[in-house]
Amino acid sequence: MKKIKILGAGLSGLSAAINLAKAGYSVDIFDSNSDSGARFHGDLQGLENWSEKIDVLSDLKKMNIAINFDCDPFDEFFGIKGKTKTSFKFEQPIFYLVKRGSVTRSIDQGLKKQALELGVSIKYNRTIPREEADIVATGPITKAIGGAVKGIIFETTHPDIAIGIAENKVANGGYAYLLITKGYGCMCTAVCGNLEKMNDYFTEAKKTLTELVPFDIKNPKNVGGVGCFSFNNKFRTEKSLFVGEAAGLQDLLFGFGMRYAIISGYMAAQSIIKNQNYEKNAEKYFSKKRKAGIVNRYLWEKILSSRPYLLFFSRFLSKKYLYSFYNFNLIQKMLYPFALRHTKKRHSFIDS
């Protein structure tokens, strides 16, 4: 078995490396950054638990990923529109909060440790030409960046809570959020377009959140990042397989992408191990989710972020309902042509 070269030591690259190493392959990873997760700084992010029927932690174990990182379950979050605070309660965790970056107990460092223990060689501050890589996992596509996050992490005595605000004054086309778990907080605004006004959006988000939910902030540190979106995912060019954000895999509605990244890395590894067609398998799996995301973004911008719908969804929302709307159901199939036309016109930054 030949040595496999992976470009990028993020979640998708590490996921591929772990599975290849477990199958007996020799794996070298090259990353231009100084460490895994270097583009993050301790942010709290949600590992979503609705796009598949299987719980995401069970799914990770099936993909040979151990849970050696902080991973806190949340079965409730609050949505705020105007002065209305709506509770969304689920029977099972709707997401798990994880830390991102080079910090202790982050998901990035957890997967790095697993890869190293399997004998994977990770060469930081080094790179190779893309055409020499068997797997490309280099993160966001520069020309497709249209979403960004700005905020702070901090220490607090406030109890665990998850809150989202869907108003353009705090997050153009996106949402602001407050996440607190075990005395560790993260408050950010995530916007879609108008990135030059990020500071103004975060200032307004911070003002709104601290008024609605009084909480103490100790030792704040700045965090932030970018996201990319694509209408047509690129999974292969000649010998190189593309995974994660390098393949344009990101949820267009809320920007969730960690689960997609790990799954794509696993699929790329399996295609090498079992001599399968990765491009065909990945397109089959992710195409429905990409189309569903386009329709969901269309619905969000048209009606779903309004107050009456938030109240309506709080009564009827379930994991089963979310699963349906992340896997291209019948309603989405009917709306897709209109949603695609609307989204391409409104969001010219999206890679096509």
User: Pairing relation of β-strands 240-242 and 184-192?
Assistant: unpaired
Q: What is residue 346's predicted lDDT score, i.e. its pLDDT? A: 80
- Whole-Å CA distances, 252 to 73, 147, 201, 291: 23, 9, 20, 9
Residue 152 DSSP label:
E
Which pLDDT score, from 0 to 100, does residue 350 have? Answer: 63
Asked if 351 and 247 count as a contact pair (C-beta separation under 8 A), the reply is no
Residue 108: C-alpha distances to residues 30, 81, 190, 262, 299 (Å): 15, 33, 21, 11, 33
How many angstroms separate the first and last alpha carbons of the chain?
36
Question: Is residue 191 domain-resident?
Answer: yes
Q: Phi and psi dihedrals of 257, rounded to 5? A: -150, -5
Burial class of residue 151 in the structure, from the number of CB atoms within 10 Å of its CB (0-12 exposed, 13-18 middle, 19+ buried):
buried
User: Do the domain assignments include residue 222?
Assistant: yes
| C-alpha of 205 from chain center | 21
Predicted confidence (pLDDT) per residue in 280-324, tens digit: 999 999 999 999 999 998 988 887 655 555 555 555 567 888 899
7: phi then psi, degrees, rounded to nearest 5: -105, 105
What pLDDT score does 308 carry?
A: 56
Evaluate whether residue 215 is within a structural domain.
Answer: yes
219 within domain boundaries: yes
Segments in the chain below pLDDT 50: none
Measured distance CA(214)–CA(201) in Å, rounded: 19
| Chain centroid, CA 44 distance in Å | 11
Beta strands in 208-294 (DSSP E): 218-228, 236-237, 240-242
The rounded distance, in Å, linking the Cα atoms of 80 and 85 is 5
Number of structural domains in the chain: 1
Whether 41 is in a domain gets the answer no
Domain assignment present for 209: yes
Beta strand 175-181 pairing with 161-165: antiparallel
pLDDT given at position 92: 93
Residues 216-256 have pLDDT tens digits of: 999 999 999 887 787 788 999 988 999 999 999 999 888 89
In a domain, residue 275? The reply is no
**Helices (H), ranges, 11-154:** 11-22, 56-62, 107-117
Neighbours of 81 (CB within 10 A): 18
- Give the pLDDT score at 309: 55
What domain range includes position 187? 144-227
pLDDT for residue 246: 94
- Model's pTM, two decimal places? 0.94
- The structure tokens listed for 167 are 């108003």
pLDDT score, position 345 = 85
| Phi and psi torsions of 162, nearest 5° | -135, 125
- Rounded Cα gap, residues 214 and 212, in angstroms: 6
> In b/e form, how buried is each residue of 321-343, taking b as 16+ CB within 10 angstroms?
ebebbbbbeeebeebbeebeebb
Residue 167 covered by a domain: yes
- Distances in Å between the alpha carbon of 234 and those of 127, 226, 245, 278? 21, 19, 10, 11
